[in-house]
Each structure stands twice: as C-alpha cells, then as structure tokens.
Chain A
Amino acid sequence: MIAEQHAIRVQFPILARKIRGQSLHYLDNAATTFSPQVVIDAIVEFECSYRANVHRGLHSLATEVTEAYCNARLRAARFLNAAGPEEIVFTSGTTHAMNMLANALGQTLGRSDEVLVSLTEHHSAFLPWQQICQRTGAALRTIPVDAAGCLDFSDLDELITERTRIIVLTHASNVTGEITDFSDIASLARSQNALLIVDGAQMAAQGPVDIGKLGADFYAFSGHKCYGPTGVGVLWGRGDSLARLTPFAVGGGMVESVTLERAQFLHSHLKLEAGTPPIGQAIGLGLALEWLMEQDLETKARRDKHLIDTVIGRLRERPGVQILGPAPGQNRLPLCSFAISHCHPHDISQLLDERGVAVRAGHHCAQPLMKQLGLSATTRASLAIFNDQTDADALLDGLDYAIGELS
C-alpha cells in the first residue's frame, strides 16, 4: 500500500515543494488540485511542438492540434460515458458552464415559472440562476438543509411541481461533502418535464461519472479540480440539447455564414465555443481524465474513506468542534468542514500553513448555506489521490498546535 501510494505521489512534482522549510501537506484539493507529470508533459508538448489554432488551418500544425483537441473531447465523453463528443463542450470552468446555461435557458422563463436550487450550491451554480430569476420574474425556490448542512428532500413532492422548469443541484457539496442521491429527484424532474442541471465540480475529481444513470440533462465540471489545468472545464448536454442552446457568446469559429444584417450559427455543439478555445488546457484536461480513469479508484476510495474517517473521528474527540456534513458511516466526499469554538478559521489556516499544511478557510463560496447554519466561515480539509496518512497526521498535529496558540 505504501509503495503504491509512493508511486502515485512521485507523479506530482509539486509535492516536492517545501513550505517554510517543511514538507507540503496539501489539503485544499476541493479548491484546486495538482496535475500529474503526464498532464504537465502534454501541455509542454502542445506549447513546444504543435501550438496553433484549431479547426481553421490547413497546415500541419493546425491539423495536429485539431486532432489533439478532438481527442480531448473524446476523452471527456468517455469519462462521462456520454453518447458521443457532440454532447461535450469545453468551457472555462463550471462557472462559465452555469452562466451559459442560465443565459440560454433563462430566455424561456417567465413569471409563472420556478427554478429550484439547493441551499448547498456553490455561488457559481447559485448566482446565475438567482440573477436570471430576478431578470425574468421566475421564482427561485430552494431545497432546505438540516442542522449539519445536508440536503432535506422530505418536501421534494411539494418543491417540484408543474411550475418547476429547471432544477440545479450539486452532485456533491464542496462544503459538507454530502453526495447527492439523484434517484428521486431525477424521476420527479422527468415527471414534471423539468430540466435537471448537475454541478459536478467536486464529484468529477473522484473518477468517471456514468451520466446516463444520473438522470441529468446537463452536467458541468472544472479541470482544475480533477488533475487538469486551470481555465478549462466541460459542459455535457444530453443528445442534441447543446446544439439547441442559444449561444452565450458569439464570434469566430461558431458561424455558418455572416452578412452585415444577420448571422447563421452552426447547428452543432460547436456554436457554444466561440473564439479560440482553451486549446492547451483542453488537451491537458483530456489527458488528466484518461489518467484518472487508469488509476485504481477502488483503492483510492478505500484510502480516502480511511483517512477522512480518521480525521473526523479525531476531530470529534475534541471539545467545541462542529463538523458539517453526513453522519459518521454515511457516504461522503473525502473532505471535512469544521468549526472550532473560539478559533477563527483564518487563524487556524494561518497557523497550519506554518506547519506546511494547506487547508481552506472561509465561506467556501456558499454564503446562503453558511447563513442558514449560523456560521461565517469554516476550516475545510479536502483530500486528493496523492494524500496519505502523513497528511492526515500533519493536519491533526497542526490543529493541536493552532488551538494551543489561539487559546
């Protein structure tokens, strides 16, 4: 097990970094994780060997880069078990994807319509719909949470009605780590002809997603949380639904014809990729997704569970600690958000950094959830495939140190 984990860790050159002279224990993976060498190499190769624009050129570099870009789309489609590459659009990330959807689908909303979001949504999934509802007069309704911040589906029958046009829900919460069970909500959405949009930003980092089983109509995730580059993400749409969306941005590469008076856009998903796309990043993301699919994800899941259960168990032994998310034993992401009485998360994070431990402190871009829970901020530790027992131990030892310093 140790040798296997070592073989994974050596693929991440950034883990050799020292922070204030100490080994790096990176536990902020839910915000951004690292790329393995194979992804870094792919980006360097793009920059050094065949950097050019896609789709348009006839020269050798243009041909090579277009093939690599198309392969990246195929890899993303395989990762999601999508029907084909025409169901995939590259975005700049989940925020971009959600804004794209809100602007396109929002055009059909009116005062009698409702959009349903959950209180656990990241601002990137919440704000586009809040704003589009304000603009269109549609009502924004919310799925509530319990005292631990977990989704409360008890009134789902009343929340999803014939007025519900769009449901936006995270696949897994970046704050609580709760993994959403879509079985009921997907069938209720179908029964009311509501579109189900899923924010997969956190879940995609855990491995491939079988999009067909989820029952979603649209699914979005970001590259930087699943071992790929920053500035790139994926939007999946069922069947030809992407091709039917009104473009959020217009420009080069997405038109059939343009006159002084009018433009005819492409009748395909490519009309949503106006301008030069993030080519090198998309190629890197494709490699990252393929790399992730090649890993022993069952072992990863067992290791993640052991580590996060250890952290949560040890935290629960401390007085004054409030842990958000599912109860012990229940399925969750390998992350833990917690609040410690009389110790502000910023101070904890600062003191942990002194020990080389990187965590996130703040509201995690989920202020409606924080307000509901009566918290202004929490500390969050989130694991990735390269984390091991030394990281968990460094976190717990560091917390002892921080609490001692702050008390």
Chain B
Amino acid sequence: MNSTLYAAEIKALARRRFSSDCLTDPDHTITVDNPLCGDCISMDLHIQDQHIHALAHRVRGCILCQASAAIIHTAIAGTPVSELQFIHNCMLAVLNSESSCTPPSGWEKLHLFTPVANYKSRHECVLLPFRALLTASN
C-alpha cells in the first residue's frame, strides 16, 4: 500500500526543481506551518486581473508536501483566484474519498493523492501547500 503512497510519479514531482523559488516583487507572500511536524512552505504570487499570473514556492517538508506544492506550481498559471477554493475542495474530496468534486482541467494530478486517503495523519502534508495558496491569494 505504501509503495502506492510513494508512487514513482509522486517522488518525481517531489524532486522536481523549478527555475526560481521566489518572485521579484510578489503581490502576495505567505508562509504557513504544519504545527504537527514543523513543515513549512512559503509562497509568492503575482496576480493580474484576478488570475494567478505567476507563483514560486519554497518548501521544507516531506515528499507528499513537496509533490503537492509541485502540482500547484505546475498547474496554477492562469487560474482564476475565484477558482482556488474549489480546487482546494477538490483536493480535500480526494483525501476524503469523496467523488463530489471533479478537478478543473489541468488539475487532474490531484488524483495522484488518492492513496493518501487511507492515511489520515498525512492529509495535512498534502493540504499545507493548498492552505498556503488560499491564504496568499486572500
């Protein structure tokens, strides 16, 4: 079961390095922690016309947290700010094994975290970057 938790695609996402981990003159910057383990993510956003124009992040966390942040980083450009709460809810639905949300186009990789549903104590690892995104955009 854990081999699915740490599937090759999750590990590859976690290892992925992006061209820059911070933005020049971001509109919003936020740092959030997971109080359970001390994991931490910082996120910079550029927002134009109520759409996410650019994002950079710095994460100190486990593989699940890093992979989650990488999915956001990859899919976020052009996303309306008004859609972020729905995307967060989709992530939550995947973790709760609910089929109530279908992720928008470009966010299909949220389903990579389906096996995490069985590990309640790891949900926050996946959700931390989404919480950062919501907080930063608000």
Stretch among B37-45, B49-57, B103-111 lining the A interface: B37-45
Q: Which of A351, A376, A377 contacts B2 (CB 8 A)?
A: A351
A350 interface contact, C-beta 8 A: yes
- Contact across chains for A345 and B37 when beta carbons are under 8 A apart: yes
Stretch among A30-38, A45-53, A361-369 lining the B interface: A361-369
Q: Mark A383-407, 1 if CB is under 8 A from B, else 0.
A: 0000000000000000000000110
| Bound-state Cα–Cα, A354 to B119, Å | 12
- Contact across chains for B5 and A350 when beta carbons are under 8 A apart: yes
| Bound-state Cα–Cα, A354 to B125, Å | 18
- Contact across chains for A344 and B62 when beta carbons are under 8 A apart: yes
- Contact across chains for A376 and B5 when beta carbons are under 8 A apart: no
- Contact across chains for B40 and A376 when beta carbons are under 8 A apart: yes
Chain A contact residues, majority secondary structure? helix
Q: Please judge, given known A-B contacts A350-B5, A350-B122, A351-B2, whether A367 and B38 are in contact too, CB under 8 Å.
A: yes
Specify which chain A residues have a CB less than 8 angstroms from the CB of B37 in the assembled complex: 345-346, 361-363, 376-377
**Residue in B2, B6, B39, B64 whose Cβ sees the most chain A Cβ within 10 Å:** B2
Question: B residues 35-92 with Cβ under 8 Å of A?
Answer: 36-40, 60-64
Specify which chain B residues have a CB less than 8 angstroms from the CB of A347 in the assembled complex: 6, 62-64
Specify which chain A residues have a CB less than 8 angstroms from the CB of B1 in the assembled complex: 20, 354
Specify which chain A residues have a CB less than 8 angstroms from the CB of B60 in the assembled complex: 376
Q: A15 to nearest B CB, angstroms?
A: 23
Specify which chain A residues have a CB less than 8 angstroms from the CB of B11 in the assembled complex: 406
Q: How many A-B residue pairs have CB under 8 A?
A: 48
| Bound-state Cα–Cα, A346 to B11, Å | 14
Q: B16 to nearest A CB, angstroms?
A: 14
Specify which chain A residues have a CB less than 8 angstroms from the CB of B36 in the assembled complex: 362
Q: Please judge, given known A-B contacts A350-B119, A351-B6, whether A406 and B40 are in contact too, CB under 8 Å.
A: no
- Contact across chains for B38 and A406 when beta carbons are under 8 A apart: no
Specify which chain B residues have a CB less than 8 angstroms from the CB of A351 in the assembled complex: 2, 6
Q: B129 to nearest A CB, angstroms?
A: 15
Question: B residues 1-30 with Cβ under 8 Å of A?
Answer: 1-3, 5-6, 11
Q: A19 to nearest B CB, angstroms?
A: 12
Q: Mark A205-217, 1 if CB is under 8 A from B, else 0.
A: 0000000000000
| Bound-state Cα–Cα, A370 to B39, Å | 12
Q: Which of B2, B61, B64, B122 contacts A354 (CB 8 A)?
A: B2
Q: B102 to nearest A CB, angstroms?
A: 29
- Contact across chains for A363 and B6 when beta carbons are under 8 A apart: no
- Contact across chains for A406 and B39 when beta carbons are under 8 A apart: no
Specify which chain A residues have a CB less than 8 angstroms from the CB of B6 in the assembled complex: 347, 351, 405-406
Q: A354 to nearest B CB, angstroms?
A: 5
Specify which chain B residues have a CB less than 8 angstroms from the CB of A20 in the assembled complex: 1
| Bound-state Cα–Cα, A347 to B11, Å | 11
Specify which chain A residues have a CB less than 8 angstroms from the CB of B38 in the assembled complex: 362-363, 367, 370, 376-377
Q: A137 to nearest B CB, angstroms?
A: 28
Q: A387 to nearest B CB, angstroms?
A: 23
- Contact across chains for B40 and A346 when beta carbons are under 8 A apart: no
Specify which chain B residues have a CB less than 8 angstroms from the CB of A350 in the assembled complex: 2, 5, 119, 122
Specify which chain A residues have a CB less than 8 angstroms from the CB of B40 in the assembled complex: 376
Specify which chain B residues have a CB less than 8 angstroms from the CB of A362 in the assembled complex: 36-38
Specify which chain B residues have a CB less than 8 angstroms from the CB of A344 in the assembled complex: 61-63
Specify which chain B residues have a CB less than 8 angstroms from the CB of A367 in the assembled complex: 38
Question: A residues 148-172 with Cβ under 8 Å of B?
Answer: none
Q: B112 to nearest A CB, angstroms?
A: 16
| Bound-state Cα–Cα, A377 to B6, Å | 20
A367, closest chain B residue (CB): B38
A405, closest chain B residue (CB): B6
| Bound-state Cα–Cα, A83 to B38, Å | 43
Question: A residues 50-90 with Cβ under 8 Å of B?
Answer: none
| Bound-state Cα–Cα, A400 to B8, Å | 18
**Residue in B1, B36, B119 whose Cβ sees the most chain A Cβ within 10 Å:** B36
Specify which chain A residues have a CB less than 8 angstroms from the CB of B62 in the assembled complex: 344-347
Q: Which of B2, B3, B125 contacts A346 (CB 8 A)?
A: B125
B5, closest chain A residue (CB): A350
Question: A residues 336-365 with Cβ under 8 Å of B?
Answer: 344-347, 350-351, 353-354, 361-363
Which residues of B approach A to under 8 Å, CB–CB? 1-3, 5-6, 11, 36-40, 60-64, 119, 122, 125
11 A-B contact pairs sorted by A residue (CB < 8 Å): A344-B62, A344-B63, A345-B37, A346-B39, A346-B125, A350-B119, A362-B37, A363-B37, A376-B40, A376-B61, A405-B6
Closest 5 CB pairs of A and B: A344-B62, A376-B38, A346-B62, A363-B38, A362-B37
